[in-house]
Structure 1
Amino acid sequence: MTASNTAPPSTTTTSLSAAWPTVKAENRPWTRWWWMGNAVDEANLTRNLKLYAEAGLGGVEITPIYGAVGYEQSYIDYLSPTWMRMLGATVQQAHTLGMGVDMNLGTGWPYGGPQITPESAAGKLVVQTYEVKAGQRLAEKLVAQDPKQQKLGAPLKAVVAYGPKGERLDLLAKVDASGLLDWRPTAGTWQVYAAFGGHTGQMVKRAAPGGAGLTMDHLSEQALNTYLRRFDTAFGGKPAGIRSFFNDSYEVYDADFSPRLFEEFQQRRGYDLRLYLRELVSKENNDQVARIRDDYRETVAEMVQQNFTKPWTNWIHGQKAVSRNQAHGAPGNVLDLYASVDIPECETFGLTKFPIPDMRYYTVDTKNVPPDPVMMKFASSGANVMGRALTSSETFTWLGEHFKVPLAHCKPQAELAFLTGVNHIFYHGTTYSPEQANWPGWLFYASTNFAPSNSWWPHLKGLNEYITRCQSVLQAGQADNDVLMYWPVYDVRHNAPPKLDMMISIHTIEEWLYPTAFYKNAVQLAKTGYAVDFVSDAMIRQAQATGTSLRVAAQGPSYKALIIPATGYMPVETLANAVKLAQQGATVILQELPKDVPGFHDLEGRRQQLKALTAGLSFAAAGTGVQVTKVGSGQIVLAADVQQALAYSKINRETLTDTGLQFVRRNDKGTRYYYLVNHTANTVDSWVPLNTSAKAVTILDPQDGRAGLASTTAEGGQTKVRLQIKPGESLILKAAEQAEVAGQPWQYLAPTGTPVAVAGDWKLHFTSGGPELPKDQTLTKLTSWTDLADDNAKRFAGTAEYTVTFTMPAKTGADYLLKLGDVRESAHVWINGQDAGYIWSHPYEKKVGAYLKKGKNTLKLEIANLMANRIIDLDKRKVEWRKYHEINFVDLYYKPFDASSWPLQPSGLLGPVTLQPLAVSTEARTQNSGQ
């Protein structure tokens, strides 16, 4: 089953040009939708959904959480008949509006709840040690000493005695029902290790009513079945109309055991882990200890995938839905976990600062690591190599401090996600809020507030339309990437700290990702113009080569080479599979030969196999630090510099990145799409080469929907395209194998003449917001609302209209660029009564020549500020608006939120406002023209 087979009823819109794909619900941004206390009703569900649809959202993901204080009488128990009725009403109303509905298969996170008994709960290995001397018998009983473990139940799972001469004895059979050990050593002093199947005791975090309880054991399929039976009962065997069921990032802490772990370990790794309890829990990090711990971590990884992720997806398919999963955080191979579901999902957590001129940042975040593109590509790689249609992203989590995030910050962060292969954005997020709730309504503690109460909500359509246009292209066809690169997960496991459970978390990438050769190669390859997807050992085992190309899945795209970066520990089977691909005709690039095999079982035997395999590869020098061996009909290239190996193999990079542009490509039945972004401080106005031979290239502008045929030239199998992209802007190129039958040429423009100052008496009228509407004003000079002689303006959050009449002496430009100067924070533009659209992101300008006329013109601007000043006012007056159970409401640093000491945020239109005449530009300028 694929995501495209289960989409909700789709709405379509008329594209501004036939060059754009038809818009469907999945192209639009979706949002996480928190149901606080499940205190929802049909009237407010309908009201909320209509507001979301009008703003341009394509769907919602229901995630029930804790509730608001004072509304307890409205709480609804999760999965109760009333809750199911509300779910049905939501699905029906959403589909009527052309929206889709996803559902978190739980409340809060991670999975758990009242159906999870201690036997099915997240497990923890508890090991107690004892000393027994010759001729003596252990007097105390072998029972868990921790009262918490005694309460939850911690059965004895293993007892091993370690002797002074290296002896290891399994003594479990000598323990009676009461816990007494019937054994005496004959000589020396022995250490006895007793292992118990304990529990973490972790409860569901941020649980909703009816969802509280222990966290489930994600290593046990029996525990999963116990968890899912509650949903089988609630759904009654009937599909609920849900498009996808969701699983949030794995945040099951200290969960390092499951009742069948020892048995599964022996089956999978070939030896009894119980005999190596001492090494498993040792704080040392010698080679043997690290290898045993590596085997343990590999077993846990397989259990998470095979006992949870795969059967979970199968159950979802039985519900006529698709699975959507955040694999990061799990103690597994996240590539394999992502590849096991229908819609892999990454997340952007924290803020990236971009060098875009005049980009203002209102948050100082020293707590979070900025979103890392390499980390995000694990999810898109899982989708791409398996031929999945969608990669989603939980986007804008803690993008900044509450009430200080403008729409302008969202755009480059969304673009960063697109550049990693994401094509299905979910906002984090939106809280269901009843109409009767006082402003600011119900809010979640960790979100960027995509809520109708947000002062910039009237302008959200600008961001939504941009994302929709981008995703309509980025969901077309398949990913079009050059090469595959192996992720050496065994290096990560072997070198990890002694703690048993090793979570592949976005919050610890400085430890497990940054120091690796894999990461350094991934960053450098992207920077220099290579499009890369990542693969695991299992994916390499599954891959096949045809001719000189290789692919992992039959329905997936093909790639030109497999890169294996420098790795300390690599299974013999993985290298053998890579050699097999070369024999079939593929190019395999080794940064260096693998040094060793991972794990402990049959170590010397596997080392000999690796030695024999590498010895059989006879390399010959090929110049520039490259060595080559021909294998079958393919080749293996050995080079410390991966890019030299790629150049030798005639796998060309996209040199367009030399301009500073970044890209991601899609291939739709031979038509190649390039999504290009300028996150630099410089304008690119130059001829840019594409690694394709196209008959025609259409430029698509996702900012406003314009389209036109580009100026192109052909040169050596490449197509050169003339581009003009300012800092903060993006363009999409549609490179077609066939010439376009029709289409207007793209208009290349450049500034000419003197800008026309839009000046005069500005009529300022506050239209919506609060706490009270400030008085109308006439301004001869544009200034911040906080500088007006009106206290209501200083504390105001909302929208206000600026109207000015000015004279155009003549219309001589081919077009005119309306430049707003300093605007806090977004604008909706009308010229001479005509809606000219939104200006909400850098560089805060828009082409408006079509709306202007000679003589008198009227410009009306609706400006929206941030929520901050009104929140400051509430906190200064000690008005209690934060009234939630559980965590209540915290700031970026998870401290109680208090804005009373914040300085006022500049608001409104500060200008200067100008109209820059533009002339047709026949020659490209230098790329750093700084326009």
Structure 2
Amino acid sequence: MKFKLLFVVLLFICCINTISKAQLKKLKSDFEKPANIYKPGVYWYFMDGNMTAETITKDLESMKKAGIGNLIFLEVNVGVPRGKVDFLSDEWTTLFAHAEKEARRLGIEITLGIGPGWTGSGGPWVKGNQSMQHLVSSQVIVSSKDRKIITLPVPPPKAPFFGEGGFTPEFKKEWQNYYEDVAVLAFPMIKTDEKIKDIDEKALYQRAPFSSGTVKANLAPPSGINGNPQSAIAKNQIIDLTGKMLPNGTLNWTPPTGTWKIMRFGSRNNGAITRPAPFPGIGFESNKMDTTALNAHLDFYLGKIFSKIGKIEKNQPGGLKRLHMDSWEMGAQNWTPNFRKEFTKRRGYDPLKYYPVYAGNVVGNLKESERFLWDLRQTAQELVLENHANHVKEYAKKHNLTLSIEPYDMNPTSDLELGSVADVPMAEFWSKGFGFNSTYSVIEATSIAHVMGRSLVPAEAFTAQDNEGWKQHPTSMKNQGDWAFASGINRFVYHTFQNQFLPDSLKPGATMGPYGVHWDRSQTWWPMVDSYHEYVTRCQYLLQQGRTVADILYLTPEGSPNVFEPPLSAIVGDTIGDRKSYNFDGCAPGQLMKASVKNNKIVFPSGASYEILVLPIYETMTPDLLEKIGSLINQGATVLGNPPLRSPSLTNYPQCDVMVKNLVAQIWGKGLLADQLVPRKYGKGQIISGKSIDNQKDKLYPNYEITAKILKSKGIQEDFTTDAKIRYTHRTSDDWDIYFISNTTKNPIKANVHFRSSKGSPELWNAINGTTKRITQFKVEKGVTSLPMELDAYESAFIVFDKGNNWQSNNNPTAQINQDLQTLNAPWKINFDEKWGGPKEVVFNNLLDWTKSDVEGIKYYSGLATYKQDFEFKGKNKNAIYLNLGEVKNMARVKLNGKEVGVLWTAPWQLNISDFVKTGKNELEIEVVNLWPNRLIGDEKKPYDGVVNGQWPEWLLKNQPRTSGRFTFTTTQQYNANSPLLPSGLIGPVKIVQK
């Protein structure tokens, strides 16, 4: 019997190992050449009617050849003269259908924004009563002694956040004309007229862009102070006069004794327009709280497109696959026709008598008014989530599409709550040094995806403005790209591929004004970019497998607007900070309500699990959320945080505060908080609290070191540690662990690295070339695998542990050979392209930076140049032979003896030539490409012949020869004749080395 049992166990282990090996084999095979769905994407921008079927096809075919697998289609109007194809005309929809058909042919996925421009969902077809609205007011002061007719002025609209600069005359007239009365209220004049601070933000009249640094991540919790009693309006003295106002604004009412203030409330458009939309698409943003308004917009806009392209098949490999809500830039909305009804249903009381609070008045007392404002924002959030985001998602589903959302920037809701609606939560990050810092959105989108179990987390990647000017390229973007991967992003969608509607002879060609890293077929290095895209694709493939490992879960405060910002102490570095040795995610209250506890971990339906929940340092919490947290602790969770003092809401007030106090006493116990951290058992779990939590530099959360210390005390090892500057992220499944690591410095490093995994012997997977190899020097102790690591400048690697790998460590590794065999210092023949001003052929006796040349055609050259040299090779092929190019500006393609060896775009700047080099004479050819700025700068010394006052030049309109002598043409000027030139060419030294 024992023998049979042992046999079964051994058979089971054997089967498990066989399955694991099969899984690893497939993982390796797919890693070498991942499927199209793992390729990066682009924002494909069209400029207000400048589009043709020919250039659409050229763009898409160039994407396919370069390794782009998906795109986001948007049409805007930024800095380019209008074209001939009116947005949404029959010709336009025919061209879109052509693009969609071509994308299907090429297997490229299309994601479509749900409105013109990039802002939101609207257009000139949206009328005022179906637009985003504010509750605005006017007021008059009357006395019982007056005998004149009371006339109430029509309340004016609020000034648009972005001003009226984008308004067409027709739109401005409609904006001014739209008005609907809502209510009239009167109340006795109060002795002092104190106003609530920051009322425009608190009452959702505006929400400034968070990325610009003008607003806080979240509003302060509702005040616990009553304020000055003499500045408050008594609710029982407010009189509803709505039915007594005549259509002409006069009031059929005689004031009682005393002086009275009368407020007229009405609905106005919030001034948000589709921006920056093509001219025929400029109009109101549709109401984000009303499904009827949204349906009217979607049916008009998308309906025209759907009717032209035909039925969308669910599993088609390319073409239209997804709808998209880009970064929220429509501002805030605090009114919709049924807002009072919805508010009463959701909050349990009628908001009518609190309408004066919208204008900053205090009703009841300050504490009460602030709670009303919290309820107002919460109601607005619920309506936006249900009637806008979720409704778009359902609309998409009916058409076999999914929905992606960038839930940030001017979002009047909680970013995490909005993003959790998406099938695909999306982030945005700008090229470092070339624009805004929106890296917080990366932390948000990845948190949403991890908690919700979304495998795909794209980012609008490397966005830039003004001073970028074609400076970015794969090499310069390597470090920041690896930061994004380590932060959880697993699809780059480069911003931007501008549709190149101009003739191919005019380069760099059309731009999106001064915006975007230029990721299109007019780039100098575009013919070589596929090599970089292969690296990105392999990374994205592995980073979409399994699930992310994170130990810490930070809960955001309740309410809106809200941006998740982790404690700075949990991040290493500045703008592109990296995670410390315990990874983390953020979680919104709405998401936490779906969590449970298993094996003392907080677990979500998606499978995401966390060792500890960290509460915000915040004074308020609703009884419902507090009860949920208590339930999680009772089931076995570990929670770090101090108790709330009261509810933020007027719902069930003041009983809600009593409920909070009672729950606090149950969970935290009675009595004052201890000075230091104290754990308290509650059910199967524990709550850890103490005054020391509040004495931290990180204002909203306890210092990371406090949380890390608790995890260590629970016996939870750090996920990744090292003695060098290396970032990481960790993906896992039942059978394997995958770590992505990268050197964050520009210098080669040697390091000792430690991984919290012992699922088999480690392997190194190289995403640059798709190769994998065993790591034979390692040590496993207490579930941690340690090994030595060497990484070149900004070099990255995947370290893979799999249950099917079981080789032993070699504690006496063979010394690695690194020997320079010869330096190629003979003269180089170099061919430049005469079309771009370069000499047909020159000889360089020594390699040098082109900008140091006395020849103007070389000094200002931009484009491809071919270096040629013959050399004698006397070495033996016993060991691997590499060609090392030294310094390259900016990319290079190597051919040896007539065969292509490969493309180099990052360190180490070397290729294995063992299979190409031969004893004796060898013919070496190196194609080197630099960037556009040098030729653009050189051309600034010649007469300007470009766009002037929004008009194309005559020579272009009439297809005449250019007479300026310029080589380049573009739709934006970002350089002058004195701008500094960029180092260019093969600078070397070029060596043959043996390894």
TM, length-normalised to structure 1: 0.85
Cα distance in 2 for partners of 1:283, 1:441 equals 55
1:348 alignment partner in structure 2: 429
Superposed, which structure 2 residues align to 1:206-605 within 5 Å? 206-208=276-278, 210-230=280-300, 231-236=302-307, 238-239=311-312, 241-253=319-331, 255-282=333-360, 287-329=367-409, 330-351=411-432, 365=434, 368-372=435-439, 374-398=440-464, 401-434=468-501, 436=503, 438-445=506-513, 446-490=515-559, 493=560, 518=567, 520-521=569-570, 527-553=579-605, 555-585=606-636, 587-605=637-655
Q: What does the per-residue CA deviation read over 1:119-153, in whole Å, with 9 as the maximum and x for residues that have no partner?
A: 11222332222212234366223423569688332
Amino acid at match of 1:428: H
User: Which letter maps to 1:98?
Assistant: G
Aligned to 2:194: none
CA contact (8 A) 1:424 1:471 kept: yes
> Alignment partner for residue 734 of structure 1, among 786, 791, 800?
800
State the shift of 1:818 in Å: 4.2
Q: Paired residue for 2:787, among 721, 726, 737?
A: 721
Q: Which amino acid aligns with 1:557?
A: A
Amino acid at match of 1:153: Y
Over residues 137-177 of structure 1, what are the superposed CA-to-partner deviations in whole Å (9 max), with x where a residue is unaligned? 66223423569688332112122223247332222222222
Deviations 1:739-787, CA, capped at 9 Å, x for gaps:
279999999985745574321101111148x533433110012222233
**CA distance in 2 between partners of 1:886 and 1:174 (Å):** 56
- Structure 1 residues 459, 881: CA separation in 2 closer, same or farther (over 3 Å shift)? farther
Q: Is 1:55 matched with 2:66? A: yes
**Aligned pair partner of 1:30 in 24, 36, 41:** 41
Q: Distance in 2 between matches of 1:744 and 1:804?
A: 42
Match of 2:94 in 1: 85
Residue 634 (structure 1) aligns with = 685
Higher mean C-alpha deviation, range 434-443 or range 534-543: 434-443
Tell me the residue number matched to 2:247: 177
CA 1:188 to 1:806, structure 2 compared with 1: closer, same or farther past 3 Å? farther
Secondary structure class of the residue paired with 1:720: strand
In 2, Cα distance between equivalents of 1:886 and 1:133? 61
Does residue 643 of structure 1 match 2:708?
yes
The alignment status of 1:132 with 2:142, answered yes or no, reads yes
Please give the secondary structure, in 2, of the residue aligned with 1:418: helix
In structure 2, how many angstroms separate the alpha carbons of the residues matched to 1:596 and 1:785?
Answer: 68
CA shift for structure 1 position 419: 1.7
Segment of structure 1 superposing worse, 816-825 or 338-347: 816-825
Match for 2:253: what amino acid? W
The 3 A distance-change label for structure 1 pair 300 and 908 is same
Unaligned runs of 5+ in 2: 1-24, 158-171, 191-232, 314-318, 694-705, 954-970
Which digits, 9 at most, give the CA deviation of each residue in 1:774-829, with x for residues without a partner? 33110012222233333222332211111223444535884455443432222222
Does structure 2 retain, via aligned residues, the 8 Å contact 1:710–1:746? no
Q: Which deviates the most, 334-343 or 126-135?
A: 126-135
CA distance in 2, matches of 1:471, 1:767: 36
User: How far apart are the structure 1 equivalents of 2:751 and 2:320?
Assistant: 47
- In the TM superposition, residue 90 of structure 1 has moved relative to its aligned partner by 2.2
Contact 2:555 2:616 in 1 (8 A): yes
Q: Deviations over 1:83-109 (max 9, x none)?
A: 333233323322322322222222213
1:72 and 2:83 correspond: yes
Alignment of 1:747-766 (within 5 A): 752-753=818-819, 756-766=822-832
What do residues 639-666 of structure 1 show as CA deviations (whole Å, max 9, x unaligned)? Answer: 6322222222333322425532211122
Query: Which shifted more, 444-453 or 238-247?
Result: 238-247
Q: Distance in 1 between matches of 2:182 and 2:920?
A: 89
Deviation at 1:112, TM superposition (A): 1.1
Q: Is the 8 A contact 1:589 1:642 kept in 2?
A: no
1:865-917 per-position Cα deviation (integer Å, ceiling 9, x unaligned): 111122224444243344796999xxxxxx98441244242343352324374
Q: Is the 8 A contact 1:813 1:917 kept in 2?
A: no
Distance 2:343 2:948 in 1: 48
Aligned mates of 2:817, 2:851 — CA distance in 1: 34
Q: Is the 8 A contact 2:73 2:113 kept in 1?
A: yes
Higher mean alpha-carbon deviation, 170-179 vs 596-605, is at 596-605
TM-superposed deviation, 1:298: 1.7
1:691-706 counterparts in 2 under 5 A?
A: 691-706=756-771
- Offset at residue 464 of structure 1 (A): 0.7
Q: Give 1:38 shift.
A: 4.0
Where do residues 814-893 of structure 1 align in structure 2 (5 Å cutoff)? 814-815=879-880, 818-842=883-907, 844-848=909-913, 851-882=916-947
Give the direction of change, closer, same or farther, for the CA distance of 1:369–1:683 in structure 2 (3 Å limit): same
Q: Give the secondary-structure state (helix, strand or coil) at the position aligned to 1:242.
A: strand
The superposition leaves residues 576-610 of structure 1 with CA deviations (integer Å, 9 ceiling, x where unpaired) of 1112112223x232232234432334443222222
Letter in 2 for 1:865: N
Contact 2:939–2:977 (Cα < 8 Å) also in 1: no
Residue number in structure 1 paired with 2:155: 144
| Comparing 382-391 and 317-326, the one that deviates more | 382-391
Alignment partner, residue 4 of structure 1: none
1:442 partner amino acid? A
The equivalences for 1:660-809 within 5 A come to: 660-681=725-746, 683-711=748-776, 712-739=778-805, 752-753=818-819, 756-767=822-833, 770-809=835-874
| 1:5 alignment partner in structure 2 | none
Identify the range of structure 1 (848-857 vs 97-106) with the bigger mean alpha-carbon deviation.
848-857
Shift of 1:429: 1.0
Any conservation in 1 of the 2:723–2:751 contact (CA below 8 Å)? no
Residue 958 of structure 2 is matched in structure 1 by none
Letter in 2 for 1:810: G
Confirm or deny: 8 A CA contact 1:67 1:884 kept in the other structure. no
Q: Which residue is 1:611 aligned to?
A: 661
- Residues 801 and 152 (structure 1 numbering): CA distance in 2 closer, same or farther, change over 3 Å? same
Alignment of 1:881-920 (within 5 A): 881-882=946-947, 897-909=973-985, 911-915=987-991, 917=993, 919=995
For residue 929 of structure 1, what is the aligned residue in structure 2?
Answer: none
DSSP-derived class of the 2:266 partner = strand
Mark the CA change 1:884 to 1:297 in structure 2 (over 3 Å): closer, same or farther.
farther
Structure 1 SS opposite 2:135:
strand
How much does 1:55 deviate?
Answer: 0.8
1:469-490 deviation digits (Å, cap 9, x = unpaired): 1011011122232232211244
Q: The residue matched to 1:428 in structure 2 has which SS?
A: strand
Amino acid at match of 2:499: Y
C-alpha separation between the residues in 2 aligned to 1:436 and 1:645? Answer: 63
Query: Whole-Å Cα distance in 2 between the matches of residues 685 and 450 of structure 1?
Result: 34
C-alpha separation in 2, matches of 1:142 and 1:428: 47
* Cα deviation code 1:606-638 (max 9, x no counterpart): 222222112113579999954222333333333
Give the percent of matched residue pairs that are identical in Structure 1 and Structure 2.
23
Gaps of 5+ in 1: 1-13, 353-364, 494-501, 505-511, 889-894, 920-931
Q: 1:176 to 1:98 in 2, by over 3 A?
A: same
Q: Which amino acid aligns with 2:349?
A: Y
RMSD: 3.5
Structure 1 residues 546 and 17: alpha-carbon distance in aligned structure 2, compared to 1, 3 A threshold: closer
Q: Counterparts of 2:917 and 2:676 in 1: how far apart (Å)? A: 61
CA distance in structure 1 between the partners assigned to 2:861 and 2:73 by the alignment: 32
Deviation by residue 1:256-293 (Cα, 9 ceiling, x = unmatched) = 43333333223222333332233333289965444332
SS at structure 2 position matched to 1:617 = helix
1:198 offset after TM fit, Å?
Answer: 0.6
